[in-house]
Amino acid sequence: MPMFNNTRRVKHTPQQMFALVADVEKYPLFLPLCEGLTVRRRTPGEGGSEVLLADMSVGYKAIRETFTSRVTLDPANLKILVEYVDGPFRYLENRWTFKPHDSGCEIGFFISYEFASRMLGLLMGAMFDKAFRKFAEAFERRADLVYGGSVSTAVTAP
């Protein structure tokens, strides 16, 4: 099962980075492969969290797919959990963490996924892996645009 794990330090606060990642409707403006994102439902969760049911449309060349996820936004603990609900995957889980670090934030990004169709996995797998590796950079560029310039370092684990 493909997975990607990345830790990145940025000169923005954990609260700023949490808010940026939690603003899922803006993803089509800056996130690789994301062509559209619609939040179907928002419901209050436990301990001040919020749970979204969202459809994300992704595309590459002639291939277009839409999938539904449950997104749990936990601002008190500065965590975001994305769980697969429906679409072209057999499995998908994505976790974000935001921890204070020096004068900024350490962002943890983890994703694990498997396409339901072997053929789709062959067609889109390498492209998805490449895109996930660019996600952290895309969010950092967005943060710089929204909050002002930044300096970052990245540590990537296989």
pLDDT in tens, 30-82: 998 899 999 999 999 999 999 999 999 988 777 788 999 999 999 999 999 99
Domains present along the chain, CATH in parentheses: 3-157 (3.30.530.20)
Please check whether residue 128 is in contact with residue 112, taking contact to mean a CB–CB distance below 8 angstroms. Answer: no
CA–CA separation, 45 and 24 (whole Å): 17
CA–CA separation, 142 and 88 (whole Å): 28
Q: What is the pLDDT of residue 131?
A: 75
Q: Mind listing the pLDDT tens digit for each residue in 85-125?
A: 999 889 999 999 999 998 899 999 999 988 888 877 777 76
What's the pTM value of the predicted model, to 2 decimals?
A: 0.87
Give the pLDDT band (50/70/90) at residue 156.
very low
